[in-house]
Amino acid sequence: MEEITKQLEIIGINGKDADIYIELLKTKEATVIQLSQKTAIKRTSVYYCLDSLIKKGVVGMTIRNNKKLYYIENPKSSLNNIIVQQQSAITELLPKIQDLYGKGSSLPEIKLYYNLAGIKNIFEDVLTCKEKVARYYIADSSVDEMLGEDFLKAFVKKRIALKIKSLSLRSAGYAPERETNYQLREIRQMPKDLFFSSYMCLYDNKSVVILAKEKIGFIIESNEYAQAQKTIFNTIWNISASQKDIINTTQEKEDDLDYWAKQ
């Protein structure tokens, strides 16, 4: 009986409501006086409990021989209905909670992630990006090597499916073979005098830093800090060479070499 009481509490039937519900399960139907006698709960309280249980849809009432009789609605369907209603309420409530979450605090929140599993969790968080643009600084392939080709291919596939565009600022030495032409990605090569040793990503109000050698990553949640970082990113982006420019420059150099070799 104690186990049933605990499970009923989980779905919101607790205290005296649970005592009345369990008693009705045993007797199938009963009057208020009978329930009061069986449970030792005052009649006025029994009325309140029955009213609550009726509103939840787990108890019904009928009149027979001028007496009000209370009975259990089909437990399988009525208890499932409670769960469905709770799930529906949670689904409707979550977006509103997310909008309120953290708005009362102006302090940045920093979350640390350790080891491979933690770094993968950071990448999964990137997929929650609401603005649909993720901005990257990538210096080398150290993070790629840590995560592995299969994980990265699966991540890119999810990112594309979610229509999250990647703006990638890279050093000249980073050019993974796995990338294809269309992956919702724009690439620019940072000026040679700029160098970032860490892997960084900016999205929404979040700034990510990953230190591959130490296998540590952290997310800073702050509107003000993220906006400042995006301003810096945009400034560097505007002075960096696009992938098309790099290809054209490389081709011109090769054409010049071919020309002078023939002279």
Q: Which CATH number fits the domain that encloses residue 137?
A: 3.30.870.10
pLDDT given for residue 257 in this prediction: 46
pLDDT given for residue 198 in this prediction: 79
CA dist list (Å): 65 to 27, 59, 172 = 18, 20, 90
Give me the DSSP letters along 177-197: TT--S-SSEEEEEPPTT----
Are 50 and 118 members of one domain?
no
Are 70 and 149 members of one domain?
no
Judged by DSSP in three states, 222 sits in coil
Rounded to whole angstroms, the Cα distance separating 143 from 221 reads 22
pLDDT tens across the length of the chain (263 residues) = 788 888 999 889 999 999 999 999 998 899 999 999 999 999 999 999 999 999 999 999 999 989 999 999 998 999 999 889 889 988 989 888 877 776 665 678 899 999 999 999 999 999 999 999 999 999 888 999 999 999 999 999 999 999 999 999 988 877 777 666 668 899 999 888 877 777 999 999 999 999 998 999 999 999 999 999 999 999 999 999 886 654 444 444 444 445 444 54
pLDDT given for residue 197 in this prediction: 72
Of the residues 33, 53, 77, which one is the last residue of a structural domain? 77
For 227, the domain range is 109-242
pLDDT given for residue 183 in this prediction: 82
- Which two structure tokens, joined as six digits, stand for 258? 């071919």
User: Which of 216-219's residues contact partners 24+ apart within 8 Å by CB, and which partners?
Assistant: 216/112, 216/113, 216/114, 216/118, 217/112, 217/113, 217/118, 217/119, 217/122, 218/110, 218/111, 218/112, 218/113, 219/110, 219/111, 219/113, 219/122, 219/125
Are 66 and 8 members of one domain?
yes
Q: Which CATH number fits the domain that encloses residue 21?
A: 1.10.10.10
Are 30 and 144 members of one domain?
no
Are 17 and 133 members of one domain?
no
Q: Is the dihedral of CA 129, 133, 138, 143 positive or negative?
A: positive
Tally the domains of the chain.
2
Rounded to whole angstroms, the Cα distance separating 179 from 201 reads 18
Is the model's pTM score more than 0.75? Answer: no
